[in-house]
Every structure is written in C-alpha cells, then in structure tokens.
C-alpha cells in the first residue's frame, strides 16, 4: 500500500527570541527516510512558511490502513531551522 503524508507548516514563532543570524533561514523536515526543505526566509520571528511537504512511502506488507497507522506510531519527524 502506498502512503502519502502531507505536513503543513505555516508559522514558526518563539516570543522574546531574537535570531542573531543575518542570513535567511529554511525549515527542514525528515520523515520515513526522506527529507524536504522549505523556501528561505529572513531570520525574523514569526517565520511564515505556508508550505506543504509531502512524504511518500510504499508499505509492501501492509494489508489495511490500520497496519500503516501501527507502523507509523514509532516513527519520528525531525524538524530543524
């Protein structure tokens, strides 16, 4: 079974924090062995990404969607700026 997971990232905020970086920042996500990166934005909070990141994987041994849900329970999503 093919499974698509779409992550929506619209805003990253951290009240009271000032980013010293003068360069632009991007958001990176890794999930199911795949990585995606957002567009680059100025280093000023809130960061307004408004992006979709799609991760796709084929679960060859899954019989129904419930099997996929059980498999995904132990997966982590790594997110960094």
What is each CA distance from 19 to 16, 22, 27, 34, 42, in whole angstroms? 10, 8, 14, 28, 10
- The structure's pTM equals 0.71
Q: Are 28 and 36 in contact (CB under 8 A)?
A: yes
The SS3 call for residue 70 is helix
**Cα(15)–Cα(17) distance, rounded to whole angstroms?**
6
In tens digits, the chain (81 residues) has pLDDT values of 667 778 888 888 888 888 887 789 899 999 988 999 999 999 888 889 888 898 888 888 888 888 888 888 888 889 998
Task: Map tokens 């979709």 to a residue.
Answer: 52
The pLDDT score that the predictor gives to residue 1 is: 65
Report pLDDT for 60: 82
């Amino acid at each position: 079974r093919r499974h698509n997971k779409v992550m929506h990232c619209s805003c990253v905020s951290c009240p009271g924090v000032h980013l010293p970086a003068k360069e632009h920042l991007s958001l990176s996500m890794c999930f199911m062995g795949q990585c995606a990166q957002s567009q680059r934005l100025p280093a000023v909070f809130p960061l307004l990404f408004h992006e979709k990141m799609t991760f796709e994987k084929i679960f060859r041994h899954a019989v129904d969607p419930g099997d996929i849900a059980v498999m995904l329970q132990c997966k982590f999503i790594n997110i960094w700026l």
